[in-house]
Amino acid sequence: MTPVMSLLLTLIGSLIAIVGSLILLNLHSIKRCIGKLSNKVDSQDNSIAEIKRDFAMCKIDCDRNTVSKEDWVRSEAFTRDKLDKLVAALNRIEGQLGIVDKIPQIAGTIAREIASQMRPGG
């Protein structure tokens, strides 16, 4: 082997070592980026799972607190019936109060009639 050949092989070996080192550094950098990305995806997956659990609990609460259409219609009919009865009772009370308001006038009329009957010649 000639000295030029040996020098050439040394240079080629050094270049291969440098290129290999650069490739190795790039691979480590890619590995770190993939690790960070993996952690971020795991965090997002956990957040999504938590939101999904919260949504499921809200849906269960909503289903538990929601009445069926038939029950709602029945309840509304019952409420309407009660309201109609209350309105009728209020109208009766108003009518009675109207009569009570006229009692002094009626009493005055009766008193005048009695007084006119008690007069001599009346």
> Could you tell me the residue ranges of all domains in the chain?
1-66, 68-122
Looking at residues 46-50, what average pLDDT do you find? 96
The residue type found at 105 is: Q
Percentage of residues of the chain with pLDDT beyond 70? 98
Calpha distance 50→67 (Å, rounded)? 28
Q: How does pLDDT run across 59-113, given as a tens digit for each residue?
A: 998 888 777 888 888 899 999 999 999 999 999 888 888 787 788 888 888 888 8
DSSP characters over 42-82: HHHHHHHHHHHHHHHHHHHHHHHHPPPHHHHHHHHHHHHHH
Q: Quick check: 116 and 122 in contact, CB under 8 A?
A: yes
Q: Cα angle at 111 between 106 and 117, to 5 degrees?
A: 130
> Is 85 exposed, middle or buried, given 0-12, 13-18 or 19+ CB atoms closer than 10 A?
exposed
